[in-house]
Chain A
Amino acid sequence: MVRRLTLAFVVILLLVIGLLPVLSMFVKSVIADGRLSLAAYEGLLASVRQWTLMGHSMVLSSLVTALTVAVGVPLGILLGKTDLPWRRFFTLLFVVPLLIPPYIVAVSWFDLLGSEGLLAHVLGASATRTTARLLFGLPGCTAVLFSIFLPIPMMLTMIFLRTINPRLEEAGRLVAGWRGVMKEITIPLVLPGVLLSAMLVFLLSFGEFSVPNFLRYDVFPVESFTQFSAFYNFKAATAAAVPLAAVTLILLLAESAFLRERTYQLRPFPERERLPLIRLGTHRRWLFASAAIAGLVIVIVPLVVLVIQSAGIDAYAEALDRAGGSLLRSLAYAVAGATLLTFLGFFTGYLVQTKALRYWRSVDSLTIFLFALPSTVIGIGLISQWNTPWTNFIYGTPVIIILGYLAKYTALTSRISVTQLAQIPPSMEEAARVAGAGWFRRMAFIVAPLARRGLVAGWVVGYIFSLRDTGITMLVYPAGHETLPVRIFTLMANGSPQLIAALCMVMITATLLPAGIAWMVPAVLKRKVIG
């Protein structure tokens, strides 16, 4: 009973935080002067510009998706399935761009290739005319978003590879080499993961507007944002957000219809058993070199450019002076967001894993839908729901920012919990139950401690994604409560490149430091226990 009530409460919380805003936004967009009206949409559909923008968005997202999948899946196989040296380091390296606010990567490339960038200093301004032209527009946007979203197909491929029963591959290895086994067995089995990643990359790049905005490639989500923040036309902003939600919904439905037939029992395998690894043999060298070069260009060069560009005490002093408050706020909100996300994700994950309520599948789909939904939609939805005289304690305070984090990122912590909980035999909880422990006691003393690694991982992921959030925060932050990514984004219009680079470095440090600590602490502790 306690269990059902608690889980039902969590579901209601998710509905209020996530679904209600989207619905309220939709309802308001079709009502004018108390009557049903499609006026807002007529304006939208009639304008040629909107269709052009939609076209741009589609082209950009398709290109980014095709590229990330084409590179990310082989990369995931290389890092997750072979004896490539340093594969763990490469995995961490390639993930970095996903962890920082997307536009920072764009800023960094601008600092390198722009007309006043580092390259121009070395080779002269004329040399960068072409690079700058390529950077500003579709090619630049595609390249930057590619480097940001590459880890998604890479990681999902690696995760799905781990769920394949090693016996299935061995049965193939009895009669065929790795090439045949990969082609006919392994890759078809990870196909659902590849599809999922393709869909996520498409939707995430579809909803991303800070990068296209900075690189001056006009895309659809910018419209909603501009209507709202430049013209204060909330109706038009809403109408422009609804197609984004519709595209998300359609893609998710298509995916689930397609996958329904294809999800085989993918259960994680006992950890002690190593995956059968492909021995690269003579291919080791050139594959290692390729991975190293890719990592250098995609990740290390942008970071180094920011370090060079920001070098010197002055830039950092000014950065802290002008954005110190935002930094502290960012940290506080991210800690709060991560903690709440961990709780919400744990219970949602528990619900999905144990199928404790009948509609567990819808809850799972809802979180994925919200994660894939463009930030603009969530932002506009939150405003539409909470901007009333009675709910100013939400709309006028940082609470609305936290609600945005919870709406968008619960899918991440929930999924991590599901994976972790799947490793715990149900008998653990059952034994506690037989011993007479109530549900909360079982959760607090048996299940949560057993799932602690998932909880820590969830917290770190929640922290990183809350901290890097730009899209939602930019729309909903109350005056005087802006976060660091938003502050940087606004300063970019007139701040010096040194200052911006320094701010970006501060942002990156704040993001990666806790992740680094969380990653090191268990290793240190373990060493102490053993040694």
Chain B
Amino acid sequence: MKIVGMDAVSKFYNGERALDNVSLEIEEGERIVILGPSGCGKTTILRLIAGFIAPDTGAISIAGELVSRDGRIFTPPERRNLGMVFQDLALWPHLSVKGNIEFGLKARGIPREERKRKIREVLDLVGMAGYADRKPAELSGGQQQRVALARALVLEPRALLMDEPLSSLDLELNIRLRKEILRLQEKLGFTMVYVTHDRDEAADMATRVVSMKQGRIEV
């Protein structure tokens, strides 16, 4: 099944074109990597899919449903059922690890006992079982990464959007976490949209690589 469809999408910032007529289809279960130099529009694509911004022209659909078109958003982010790991992680500094993960579960109205169970499971999954009560500032970079993953995965999203999630880590940790993400993906089978500027990383993570340059997809 097609999870995400972008149809002739263009996006402008203050009159400057950031995306130029981009069309892209993402199939269920695939690991697609969007590869390109800084400033080419990778983050913009993720933000369009997530629903933080609307395409100026063109249309976007998710799981067959039209979610935005020509400057208008029909389905807000919280009703798209997507997960995202941000480039700077965006862990909420005032909430504990548990609080960070619980926020989305609460918003979905999941009862307390079930929330507890899900938090425990997902923390086990990412190897952070003992850290539920820590604040993000009390974790190392790699640990924060795992929490961000857990926060995104706990809601079992249709697709996981990842914006250069490992770019702030040193190479060794970067490579180790690539393996872990792959292991999780294999186990859970979620669709993955992974953004990076690093060719090696792209080759490691992808079942399909899409190259971008200056707001266009290169063929």
**A residues with CB within 8 A of B:** 165, 167-168, 170-177, 180, 184-185, 188-189, 262, 264-265, 276
Contacts and interface: CB of A to CB of B under 8 A. Distances in A.
Contacts of A184: 95, 103, 106
Given A180-B107, A184-B103, A276-B52, A173 B90 contact: no
Given A170-B86, A276-B52, A175 B104 contact: yes
B94 A188 contact: yes
Most chain A C-beta atoms within 10 Å of own C-beta, residue among B84, B108, B155:
B84
Contacts of A180: 103, 106-107
B122 to A, nearest CB: 14
A500 B180 CA distance: 76
B71 interface: no
B107 A176 contact: yes
Given A185-B92, A262-B94, A173 B52 contact: yes
B181 to A, nearest CB: 18
A14 to B, nearest CB: 32
Given A167-B86, A167-B90, A175 B155 contact: yes
Contacts of A165: 88, 90
B94 A174 contact: no
A184 B82 CA distance: 20
A189 B91 CA distance: 12
B103 A174 contact: no
B83 interface: yes
Contact of A189 (B83, B94, B107, B137): B94
B50 interface: yes
Given A170-B90, A174-B78, A185-B92, 14 more contacts: A165-B90, A167-B86, A167-B88, A168-B92, A171-B86, A171-B92, A172-B92, A174-B82, A174-B84, A174-B104, A175-B107, A177-B107, A180-B106, A264-B137
A447 to B, nearest CB: 28
Given A264-B94, A276-B52, A173 B77 contact: yes
Contacts of B93: 168, 189, 264-265
Contacts of B103: 172, 175-176, 180, 184-185
27 contacts: A167-B90, A168-B92, A170-B50, A170-B77, A170-B86, A171-B92, A171-B151, A172-B92, A173-B76, A173-B77, A174-B78, A174-B80, A174-B104, A175-B103, A175-B104, A177-B78, A177-B107, A180-B103, A180-B106, A184-B95, A184-B103, A184-B106, A185-B92, A189-B93, A189-B94, A262-B94, A264-B94
A262 B86 CA distance: 23
Most chain B C-beta atoms within 10 Å of own C-beta, residue among A175, A176, A189:
A175
A170 B52 contact: yes
The interface residues of chain A, by DSSP majority, are classed as: helix
Contacts of B91: 171
Contacts of B92: 168, 171-172, 185
A176 B90 contact: no
Contacts of B52: 170, 173, 276
A175 B94 CA distance: 18
Nearest to A188: B94
A410 to B, nearest CB: 31
B88 A174 contact: no
A184 B104 CA distance: 11
Interface string B79-120: 010111010101111110000000110111000000000000
A491 to B, nearest CB: 52
Nearest to B50: A174
Contact of B108 (A168, A175, A188): A175
Nearest to B161: A174
Contact of A176 (B82, B83, B84, B104): B104
Contacts of A170: 50, 52, 77, 84, 86, 90
A178 to B, nearest CB: 9
Contacts of A185: 92, 103
Nearest to A170: B52
Nearest to A167: B90
Contact of B83 (A167, A173, A174): A174
B153 to A, nearest CB: 12
Nearest to B87: A167
A66 to B, nearest CB: 24
B78 A173 contact: yes
Most chain A C-beta atoms within 10 Å of own C-beta, residue among B78, B83, B108:
B78
Contacts of B78: 173-177
A184 B91 CA distance: 13
- CB-based closest 5 A-B pairs: A176-B107, A175-B104, A167-B90, A264-B93, A171-B90
B162 to A, nearest CB: 13
A168 B103 CA distance: 12
Nearest to B93: A264
A265 B91 CA distance: 12
A165 B93 CA distance: 11
A174 B151 CA distance: 11
Nearest to A185: B92
A171 B83 CA distance: 9
A176 B92 CA distance: 14
Nearest to A184: B103
B170 to A, nearest CB: 22
Contacts of A189: 93-94
A264 B137 CA distance: 9
Nearest to A172: B103
B39 to A, nearest CB: 13
Interface string B9-51: 0000000000000000000000000000000000000000010
B85 to A, nearest CB: 9
